[in-house]
Amino acid sequence: MLKIERNVRKLAPLGTALLLSAFGATAAMAQDQAAPAAPAAPTALSTPSFAGPLAANPNPFSVDTTDWLGDAGGKIYITGAVTGLAYWQSNPTHAAPGDAASYMDLANAQVDIQKTDGWLQFYVQAGEYSLPTLGQPYTKSDFATPANFGVVPVAYLKLQGEGDFADFSLEGGKLPTLLGNEYLFTYENMNIERGLLWNIEPAVSRGIQVNYSNGPLTISLSGNDGFYTNKINWFDGLVSYAITSADTLAFVGGANLGGHTGGPLNRGGDYTLTWTHTDGSWVFSPYVQLNTTPSYSVGTVKVIKSTNDWSGAILTSWSFDDNWKIAGRAEYETSSGNTSPAIPLTPALPGFFGPGSAAYSLTVTPSYQWKAFFARMDVSYTATSSGVNGYQFGTKFNSSNQTRLMFETGVLF
């Protein structure tokens, strides 16, 4: 049940997590002899991205390096997250370290170091993390970190254009994916756990990315290694347009261009259409997704037949006030095309619940945040339809549903 390939997951909702332009550096303090100095204005960093309801530290710690580095210098911001979680679940599989009826774990112990101004910028995220995902066995953080992207999951250098080229930027390194509508780490998302759709998308890819942003239009193009295969044979593209101040439509697609390394998911493609609407305290973001998986052979033996996976989800959140908020998610995914693997008991991709299966999930997440401290709880239910024994829940992998209660608390500094 522990799919190495699904560990290569979401960061991303649709490209905004990849653009390191600052939303306003710390304002210069006004000062004169007749009045005391005004306090520095809060700074909002665009990375890591937050889908809400949780919010990043609005006034992060920074060090000014202009005197040391000259034109290449500027403010270097240091932020991070330290969070822990506890959960209870029905029908545990015990198929991964930490997947039990109940468990407590360190969810995140991370530091983010970044420079967001000038022509030379960078971002480095380092530390330990777990990646709780609906429909999959929970994997504890000290195992999940080395099994996924290591202690430095995201790190890249960015060259920001200036003058006539101010709308363009180029970045390269370990980049959050453009694909999907959920981010990589728990605190970035509306819910603690990532969803069924996140589970079949890339999360972090090594490569380069070109960005263009002008007014309501954002375009990003990336050549990368897809599901973290260390071979550059994927191409991703994002087009996002703010139709109004409240509505944004985005299409993002990625596919393997050849040299089919890695598992079956890395050999196919991923295509997502997302609409995001904000209205006062409401955020509403439905999206549809198509994953394609070609037939897969080892020598002359066909291991996997070609499949398509259609899925859809609705993410939403509501703010009662500055402290209390609630988020919800509903998902459905179904596999079509050939309904059986060529060889029995090989993984039926991309849905992971057996050939010809379908699944749905419902999640509700109330949360409380006061300054850097937060606490929240997931209540989730995941169920399969036409699931195949050997691919489902429970120690015998034959249970068709799973309920989880998950609690997370910590600080975002």
Q: Which amino acid makes up residue 115?
A: K
Q: Say if residues 239 and 214 touch (Cβ distance below 8 Å).
A: no
Q: How far apart are CA 215 and CA 100, in angstroms?
A: 49
| pLDDT tens per residue across span 103-116 | 999 999 999 999 99
- On whether the CB atoms of residues 323 and 370 are closer than 8 A, the answer is yes
> Which run of H or of E encompasses 171?
strand 168-176
Report the distance separating Cα 299 and Cα 362, nearest Å: 41
Reference 134, options 85, 83, 101, 89; nearest CA is 89
Expressed in percent and rounded to 5, the helix, strand and coil fractions of the chain are: 10, 50, 45
Domain 5-23+47-58+77-412 annotated CATH 1.20.1250.20: no
Beta bridge partners of 301: 298
Backbone angles phi, psi at 321, to 5 degrees: -160, -165
Q: Residue type at 340?
A: S
DSSP assignment of 5-40? GGGS----SSSGGG----S-PPPPPP-BTTBPPPPP
Quote the pLDDT of residue 40: 44
Let me know: does 391 contact 348? Beta carbons within 8 Å: yes
Q: Measure the CA–CA gap between 96 and 111, rounded to whole angstroms.
A: 26
Identify the H or E element spanning 254: strand 247-256
* pLDDT tens sequence across 116-136: 998 999 999 999 999 999 999
The identity of residue 384, as a single letter, is T
Residue type, 245: S
- The predicted model scores a pTM of 0.85
Tens digit of pLDDT at every position of the chain (413 positions): 333 343 433 333 333 333 233 333 333 333 333 334 444 444 569 999 999 899 999 999 999 987 777 666 789 999 999 999 999 999 999 999 999 999 999 999 999 999 999 899 999 999 999 999 999 999 999 999 999 999 999 999 999 999 999 999 999 999 999 999 999 999 999 999 999 999 999 999 999 999 999 999 999 999 999 999 999 999 999 999 999 999 999 999 999 998 777 777 888 899 999 999 999 999 999 999 999 888 776 677 666 677 888 999 999 999 999 999 999 999 999 987 554 444 443 444 445 787 778 999 999 999 999 999 999 999 999 999 877 788 889 999 899 999 999 999 999 99
Residue for token pair 């370290």 = 97
Distance, CA of 181 to CA of 131 (rounded, Å):
16
Going by C-beta distance under 8 Å and a sequence separation of 6 or more, which residues neighbour residue 48? 17, 56, 112, 125, 183, 185, 188
Structure tokens at 258: 């050849």
**Number of other CB atoms surrounding residue 35 within 10 Å:** 8
| C-alpha closest to that of 48 among 108, 117, 123, 129 | 123
> CA 334 to CA 353: how far, in whole Å?
10
Q: Which of 355, 323, 316 is nearest to 338 (CA)?
A: 355
User: For the CA atoms of the chain, what is the radius of gyration?
Assistant: 21
Residue 21, pLDDT score: 35
Domain ranges within the chain, ordered by starting residue = 5-23+47-58+77-412
Predicted local confidence at residue 388, as pLDDT: 77
- Report which of 348, 224, 230, 352 is spatially closest to residue 296, judged by C-alpha positions: 348
User: What is the model's pLDDT at position 332?
Assistant: 96
